[in-house]
Amino acid sequence: MLKQLTRSIAAAALLTCTTSYAATDALTAEQLAFIDELVVEHGFEREALAALLSQTEPNQEILDAIQRPWEAKPWHQYYPIFLTEKRLAAGLEFWQEHAETLARAEQQFGVPAEVIVAIIGVETFYGSYLGKYQVLDALTTLGFHYPPRQTFFRSELKEFLLLTRAEKLSPTELKGSYAGAMGYGQFISSSYRHYAIDFDADGVRDLLSNPVDAIGSVANYFLKNGWRPQQRVAVELPATAANADLASDGLKLTATIAELQKQGLDLPENTELDGDMKAKVFRFEQPDDADYWLGLHNFYVITRYNRSPLYAMVVHQFSQQLAAAR
């Protein structure tokens, strides 16, 4: 586990690094302006940041990866990646191993254990795949060399540098996804800073190698993003023409169930839902047709973790598999 030794060695990496002014010659005007911002707003040492950023180079593999995310696949190609017997077995084993922690998280945050287990399973197969890219390289590549989302990733780079300074981590040693997500739950840097908690009370918020902290932090993330305990996530709908007409793109729940029913929403028999609840009909492509689901508030909350209805649906279905098999 990444504990005191790694952290103590890493602690001074960003703060004590020194360089000659030649390091700034390799930096772009945008990078120099970024450094100025961190120096003025957050008290970083200019030479240390210049030396750090001068070590990075654009990574074409990262630029290629961000343009072909799994969530761009149709549903019938997406869900088989995650809904497998192997992942289900690993999830049940993880649940058994951390049953007490998961129960405590569910009681404290109101997020079902199966949802937490599903998230960690989908994200990293329970810590087996934490990512192969240096987070610093990923964020500098996307923050300075990927115009479509450079504002977001430049902000995440700032969050990453603040995170590593506060948590005494080495910015050059951390690895994660091509988008710079880290740890069991693949938190981006801003989420790590805002939602990570020390769930085992050892004085460290360690999402990188501590599953207990990861469990608590995933639950905290959902609660802080509006999870409503004891409420459903989604309802499977019959594949009728009326429901097909109501399906639309986007994530926000813009109509109430009562309003959708006036527009022709066809619910399964004996389905009891509050007509004042907001909801949205989602279409999930199959090879020859489609599945239709009514996404409810907690479905939307899952999309705050990953902005994709496919992701939210695979987490929901996996959580249901886990609960049924336990």
> How many domains, in total, are found in the chain?
3
Q: How many Cα atoms are found within 13 Å in the side-chain-facing hemisphere of 296?
A: 20
Catalytic one among 123, 156, 159, 167? Answer: 123
Domain limit, last residue, from 224, 247, 279: 224
**pLDDT in tens for each of the 326 residues of the chain?**
544 444 444 444 444 444 445 566 689 999 999 999 999 999 999 999 999 999 999 999 999 999 998 888 999 999 999 999 999 999 999 999 999 999 999 999 999 999 999 999 999 999 999 999 999 999 999 999 999 999 999 999 999 999 999 999 999 999 999 999 999 999 999 999 999 999 999 999 999 999 999 999 999 999 999 999 999 999 999 999 999 999 999 999 999 999 999 999 999 999 999 999 999 999 999 999 999 999 999 999 999 999 999 999 999 999 999 999 99
- Determine, yes or no, domain membership for 219: yes
Same domain, 58 and 198: yes
Same domain, 267 and 118: no
CATH code of the domain containing 204: 1.10.8.350
- Determine, yes or no, domain membership for 309: no
Same domain, 58 and 142: yes
Same domain, 255 and 171: no
This prediction has a pTM of 0.91
259 is catalytic: no
Same domain, 177 and 255: no
Same domain, 158 and 13: yes
- Determine, yes or no, domain membership for 262: yes
> Where are the alpha helices (H) located in the chain, listed in sequence order?
4-11, 13-16, 22-25, 29-42, 46-54, 60-65, 75-82, 85-97, 99-109, 113-124, 135-145, 150-167, 189-195, 211-224, 241-246, 257-262, 297-303, 309-325
Structural domain boundaries enclosing 109: 70-124
Same domain, 174 and 256: no
Residue 278: its H or E element: strand 278-285
Same domain, 205 and 174: yes
